[in-house]
Chain A
Amino acid sequence: MAKQLMKGNEAIAEAAIRAGVEAYFGYPITPQTELLEYMSKRMPELGRVFLQAESEVAAINMVYGAACAGRRVMTSSSSPGISLMQEGLSYIAASHVPVVIVDVMRGGPGLGNIAPSQSDYFQMVKMAGHGDYKPIVLAPATVQEAVDLTALAFDLAERYRTIATVLLDGVLGQMMEPVELPAMRALPTTPPAWAITGAAGRAKNSVVPFRMQADDLEALNLELQRKIAEIARREVRFKEYLIDTTSGSTDKAELIVVAFGTAGRVALSAVKAARQKGICVGLHRPITLSPFPDERLSQLADEARGFLVVEMNAGQMLQDVKLSVGGQAPVRFYGRTGGQVPMPDDIALEIEKLDEMTGHPLDHKIEGPVALRPVDRPARRQETSRTSRN
């Protein structure tokens, strides 16, 4: 199929439609609203369900209901809306029903702003709702990848009867890029055996998000943990750039930048620039933030001189990188908050600092300092004007 130019939000919506989403429930919030608007037009055209809910709280519970019926269902929102959905997500997790959530992140906390951010890492990857559960979290860095991961999200959600989320920021949601869309899939004809479809010719089904007895609730938790472990074993995905781990290779990356989504994309430019200056640096970009590629990072840490984590937040994935590296090498951090997007030059400077800091083998065990922004550089004018918009 020929490529077409599409906005991230609309491309995700069309990808979900082609993946066979049967119902969409959502609520307007910038910067994801185009996704909802696109669905409001396309879903009725195809005879599928679109409903604008009265709130994100209602939207996620509508999603919960449709998921209990065994239908492919999704919602989309942005950070404050996702906060409101956390209650519903906890119930969905307890019920083992598949749902797909798209979060187009914006600046926080509070009402924050509508500029791009990655500060929902904690609330999505760790899940802010009550109880022990973990969704699958997929983090695209291009509009094409967002399209591909949206289809994957539906497959994984159903395979494991879990929450699968596509986590991107306002840059990707709003950006237009050429994309190749997948073919339209046929809708499933029969709902799964556990679905709430009316007890016709069979014993009744129940979907119940509680267990009164401690033994039963522990059993439910153990089942969730078994599922999380299986997903961690089978579904880790990442991309690496300029990391040659071949023994004896002269291109071998000694420094590893770790960044996801838009930050990963910007970081790649910085990594390439640093390579040109002769610094042996590569990029590891997690695609599954959950399950996290901890084993791979631990492996890289065996030989790397140091790590630099770059995020559009105050250091959230940083914690998982540190856990993976396990003190084997210093881990520095560079992050921007408030809806700021890091610039390649700033990241390149941080790579140089890491290079200097880890130049001597004895420095390996020294924990790197955390820099929220380079103190020796004035804020860019362009960035200042961006934050004043709301």
Chain B
Amino acid sequence: MRKIILPLFLSIIFISESIFVELFADDNVANKIIYAPHFLLISLCLSALFINRNLSLIYAFVFGFIYDIFYTDILGIYAFLFTLIVYLFSLLMKALNSHLIVVTIVALTGIIILEVLVYGILIVFKDTSMTFTIFITYRLLPTILLNFCFMFFLGYLIKKLYVYIRNLNYTDI
């Protein structure tokens, strides 16, 4: 039971990203603005903090790899970056208070790092023609705003769920 809850939850989040884009990506409303959901990364970061770091690193790699295979077809980008960012996140959170506001700020910083690194990689491979200023204004800022909203509305619930899962673990052992 306890082993299944976390991967199941992460799978739901994984699919919800695609559904979110399908439902809300509408070029009439947001003419040029792109907002990319990174709910999966947020959930992974929180699980590293509230449940277990090493387990979360493994999940970060696995889900990142599935993400690469299914969505991007350039293997390794998200698998590597998800793992890196979850690692950096947990490293930083060791030194910081785990209040939800602090967690939100650090997780959003992680998303900024992810976006900038992916942009850099795509520029190197000439896979995008977006200029840096357009990237910042039309992509990075809306993305941060969207993920902030996600944290604002669901962060507390996810934390509750994770604390519940962790307590399950203790009683099982």
A and B pair up:
no
* Interface positions of A (Cβ within 8 A of B): none
* Interface positions of B (Cβ within 8 A of A): none
